[in-house]
Amino acid sequence: MEITVTVNGTAETRDVEPRLLLVHFLRDVLGLTGTHVGCDTTGCGACTVLLDGAPIKSCTLLAVQADGRAVTTVEGLIENGQLHPIQEAFKEEHGLQCGFCTPGMMLVAKALIESNPDPSEEEVRWAISGNVCRCTGYTNIVKACRRAAAQIRQAEVAS
């Protein structure tokens, strides 16, 4: 069936099988391979994207359920050729190792900071607790999220 999903600001209209998962729509139909798959039970968060701004696990949503809605993937974090402060912070704080969980983590962080501009360490840990990282032990991911939040607050004050 035909669906239209706005992905990273661009309306994408495709004819898809009703059973196609959103993650496969993004990866295989649109070629956006930054969204990863780490499990088959909604248990790891590697596939996290933003649906109308809220983090969801794209391995557990059908592409047709995203019809008429807006999806943000890691590829959409860069704006006007500029890295998002979250991306900068993950590099700066060594918040990634193999990089497989990173896109999902960054998108959760984005949603968190939008709703809570100054999250505490506990609030960050809670927010990312649906996303597994096997490499970093989370310490530096938490730091990266808080650093990004601080950066964004500062930028807002400056503007």
Partner 1 sequence: MSEGTRICGIGHSVKRKEDDRFIRGRGRYVEDVNLPRMLHMALLRSPLAHARINAIDASAAQAHPGVVAVVTGKDLEAHKLAWMPTLSGDTQAVLATDKVRFQGQEVAAVIAEDPYVARDALELIAVDYDPLPAVVDPFQALAPEAPLIRDEKEGQADNCCYRWQAGDKEATDRAFAAAEVVVKLKTHYPRCHPAPLETCGCVADVDPATGKATIYMTSQAPHAHRTLFALVAGLPEHNIQIISPDVGGGFGNKVPIYPGYVVATAASLLLGRPVKWIESRTENLISTGFARDYHMEGELALDRDGTMRAVRVKLTSDNGAFFADAQPTKFKAGLFHIVTGSYDLKAAHVEATGAYTNKAPGGVAYRCSFRVTEASFLIERLVQNAAYELGMDPAELRRKNFIRADQFPYRSATGFVYDSGDYHRALDLALDKVGYAALREEQERLRREGGDKLLGIGIASFTEVVGAGPAKDYDIAGLKMFDSAELRVHPTGKAILKIGVQTQGQGHETTFAQIVAGELGIPPEDVLVQHGDTDNTPYGLGTYASRSTPTAGAATAVVARKLRDKGRKIAAHLLEAAEEDLEWHEDRFRVKGVPEKSVTIQDVAFAAYTNPPEGLEAGLEGVHYYDPPNMTYPFGSYVVAVEVDRGTGEWKVRRMVAVDDCGVRINPMIVEGQIHGGLTEGYGIAAMELITFDEDGNCIGSSFMDYLLPTAWETPKFETYATVTPSPHHPIGAKGVGESATVGSPAAYVNAVIDALAHLGVRNIDMPVTSAKVWEALQRAGV
When the beta carbons of 68 and 137 are compared against partner 1, the nearer one is 137
From the list partner 1, ligand FES, none, partner contacted by residue 8 (C-beta under 5 to 8 A by kind) = none
With CB under 5 to 8 Å by kind, the binding choice for 103 among ligand FES, partner 1, none is partner 1
> What binding mask, one character per residue, do residues 8-47 give for ligand FES by CB under 6 A, x or -?
-----------------------------xxx--xxxxxx
Question: Which among 115, 113, 78, 109 is positioned nearest to 96, based on CA atoms?
Answer: 109
CA–CA–CA angle 95, 57, 101 (5° rounding): 20
As a whole number of angstroms, the distance between CA 81 and CA 87 comes to: 13
Separation between Cα atoms, residue 141 and residue 102, nearest integer Å: 9
Question: Is 40 or 157 the residue whose CB approaches partner 1 more closely?
Answer: 40
Segment (H or E) for 50: strand 48-51
Q: Does 137 bind ligand FES (CB under 6 A)?
A: no
26: Cβ contacts below 8 Å, ≥ 6 apart = 7, 32, 35, 49, 58, 71, 73
Question: What residue 34 binds from ligand FES, partner 1, none (CB within 5 to 8 A, per partner kind)?
Answer: partner 1
Which residues form the interface with partner 1 (CB under 8 A)? 17, 19-20, 27-28, 31-41, 43-44, 46, 73-75, 77-78, 83, 87, 90-92, 94, 96-103, 106, 124-126, 128-142
